[in-house]
């Protein structure tokens, strides 16, 4: 099953150093039966992209939390790790695309990493500051969030991660 795991640049650094990634609380996003039911139409690729976007939004929450820690030195960019895992338990009580993993993901299970470009940093910083307000329906916060989500995530192969991190 392909899962999309929200992360930060600091988490990518730990992935490269340790060779494994432990999602926060084991939480990821995937094309679940409930997500498929939530859409009246859409190909598998389109629905997987919706799960990826949910993970990108969750990455904003991680960035907001990191802004108060040592990882604040890393650039504020949304990160989504795409991985192929054997099992992930759907968590429809949390949301249609949410899944729970029972352990870390090894580097060889990672299919790709998606990261914002430098041009997105200002929008991502602003969105991370208002993500909770956007979730509660604040129209100004939703507009700010939309500015960040207008930026497409760049695709990187796992073997490119050391070079990407060196260039940051």
**In DSSP terms, which residues pair with 89 in a beta bridge?**
100
Please compute Rg for the chain using Cα positions.
15
Residue 68: what pLDDT? Answer: 63
Q: Give the number of other Cβ atoms within 10 Å of residue 164's Cβ.
A: 16
The tens digit of pLDDT for each residue in 27-61 reads 999 998 888 888 877 888 999 999 999 999 999 99
In sequence order, what are the residues at sequence separation of 6 or more whose Cβ sits closer than 8 angstroms to the Cβ of residue 129? 64, 144
pLDDT tens-digit map of 136-160: 999 999 999 999 999 999 999 999 9
The pair phi, psi for residue 140, each rounded to 5°, is -65, -40
Instruction: Please identify which residue in the block is written with the tokens 């907001």.
Output: 64
Classify strands 2-7 and 27-30 as parallel, antiparallel or unpaired.
antiparallel
Residues paired with residue 156 on neighbouring β-strands, in sequence order: 113
The rounded percent of the chain whose pLDDT value lies above 70 is: 97
């Amino acid at each position: 099953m392909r899962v999309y795991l929200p992360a930060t640049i600091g988490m990518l650094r730990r992935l490269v150093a340790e060779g494994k990634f432990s999602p926060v609380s084991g939480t990821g996003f995937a094309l679940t039966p409930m997500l498929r039911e939530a859409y009246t139409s859409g190909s598998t690729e389109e629905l997987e992209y919706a799960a990826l976007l949910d993970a990108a939004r969750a990455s904003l929450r991680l960035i907001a939390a990191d802004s108060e820690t040592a990882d604040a030195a890393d650039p504020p960019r949304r990160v989504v790790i795409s991985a192929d895992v054997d099992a992930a338990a759907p968590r429809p009580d949390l949301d249609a695309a949410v899944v729970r993993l029972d352990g870390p993901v090894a580097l060889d299970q990672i299919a790709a990493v998606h990261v914002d470009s430098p041009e997105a940093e200002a929008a991502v910083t602003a969105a991370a500051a208002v993500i909770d307000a956007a979730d509660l329906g604040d129209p100004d916060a939703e507009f700010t969030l939309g500015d960040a989500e207008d930026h497409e995530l760049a695709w990187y192969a796992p073997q490119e991660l050391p070079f990407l991190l060196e260039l940051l």
